[in-house]
């Protein structure tokens, strides 16, 4: 099992490594060339800068039973199709019961933005958000057969 992280804008890299280190699970973080990342635990893979290059590299590395950390619903969908697990940076575990609704909401939001509207506000990330993620991530990992 691998933990694969869409790490370009991921705010919970430290929390991922903390849980993975405690369980002895390998972590691979993928970034593009416009980002820099160093880690004493994770393997860092840098891919070319380009639309979806990190997403495609991450999915190409994903196997059944892996855990993917991403905020991208499309990446989560592809991970689920490969029988991997997927969780957002906010601790939402993607699964067959919620992914269709999330994709539909994303589609509606994109239509609203394209027509000049606004589709919601983004609130600033807090320490509590990171703690929530860590608890949800640890619960997910503890529920898997390692």
Convert the pLDDT of each residue in 111-127 to its tens digit: 766 777 776 666 788 99
- CATH number, domain of 138, equals 3.40.50
Predicted local distance difference test score (pLDDT) of residue 67:
98
Whole-structure pTM over 0.75, yes or no? yes
Average pLDDT, the chain: 89
Question: Domain for residue 111, yes or no?
Answer: no
Mean pLDDT of 103-116: 68
- Quote the domain boundaries for residue 16: 2-95+126-142
Q: What is the mean pLDDT of residues 66-83?
A: 94
In whole angstroms, what is the distance from residue 17 CA to residue 44 CA?
12
**Coil, strand or helix at 124:** coil
Q: Which residues contact 104 (CB under 8 A, 6 or more apart)?
A: none
Provide the domain count of the chain. Answer: 1
């Amino acid at each position: 099992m691998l933990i694969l992280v869409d790490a370009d804008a991921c705010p919970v890299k430290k929390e991922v490594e903390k849980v993975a280190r405690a369980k002895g699970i390998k972590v691979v973080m993928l970034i593009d060339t416009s980002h820099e990342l160093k880690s004493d635990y994770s393997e860092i893979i840098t891919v070319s800068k380009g639309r979806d290059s990190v997403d495609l590299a991450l999915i190409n590395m994903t196997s059944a039973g892996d855990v993917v950390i991403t905020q991208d619903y499309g990446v989560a969908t592809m991970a689920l199709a490969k029988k991997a697990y997927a969780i957002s940076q906010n601790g939402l575990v993607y699964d067959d019961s919620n992914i269709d609704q999330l994709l539909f909401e994303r589609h509606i939001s994109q239509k609203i933005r394209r027509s000049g509207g606004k589709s919601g506000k983004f609130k600033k990330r807090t320490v509590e958000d990171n703690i929530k993620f860590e608890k949800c991530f640890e619960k997910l990992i503890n529920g898997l057969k390692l």
